[in-house]
Amino acid sequence: MTIQTLFSTNLLRCSRWHPDGLQDWTALEWAGAMAGEAGEACNAAKKLRRIETGALNKNEGDRSLTDLEQARTAVAKETADAIIYGMLLMARVGVTDPEAVIREVFNQKSIEYGFPERL
């Protein structure tokens, strides 16, 4: 899978949920959905840290993460959800080549900090 494959397939699937596709929501609404998923990733990471340190980790029902691998998987999946919404947000604001945007931002940050890694 490439970023472009995710991007275009995500847009196709979006139109199944939203009759008017990306236009059903504003950029702010897509950003809110992305932020919600990022928040869920943060919560899973918090629970992961509690497991790693042996701290009290008390939650109810399916919100409880007590197993190290389960918590790591939850962090990864919630992060994936945030990325998927991020792709829809990029499309909503007119991006057609997300790989180019990601490459530009990654490389600029490497230049800014004097790192040799480039995409």
DSSP state of 54: T
- With vertex at residue 94, the alpha carbon angle to CA 92 and CA 97, rounded to the nearest 5 degrees, is 110
- Is residue 103 domain-resident? yes
pLDDT band, residue 3 (cuts 50/70/90): very high
Mean pLDDT of 46-63: 79
Mean pLDDT of 51-76: 82
Listed in sequence order, the DSSP H helices in the chain are 3-17, 27-53, 68-92, 98-113
- Is residue 87 domain-resident? yes
- Is residue 12 domain-resident? no
Look up the CATH number of the domain holding residue 105. 1.10.287
- Is residue 64 domain-resident? yes
Q: Which two tokens stand for residue 1?
A: 């899978």
- Is residue 16 domain-resident? no
Number of domains present in the structure of the chain: 1
- Is residue 54 domain-resident? yes
DSSP state of 22: G
Which structural domain, as residue segments, surrounds residue 62? 3-7+27-113
- Burial group, residue 2, by CB count within 10 angstroms (0-12, 13-18, 19+): exposed
How much is the pTM? Answer: 0.90
- Is residue 85 domain-resident? yes
Give tens-digit pLDDT for 64-106.
Answer: 777 899 999 999 999 999 999 999 999 999 999 999 999 999 9
- With vertex at residue 37, the alpha carbon angle to CA 35 and CA 38, rounded to the nearest 5 degrees, is 60
Residue 63 scores a pLDDT above 70: no
Q: Residue 12 belongs to what H/E stretch?
A: helix 3-17
pLDDT band, residue 22 (cuts 50/70/90): very high
Tokens 């990654």, located at residue: 106
pLDDT band, residue 61 (cuts 50/70/90): low
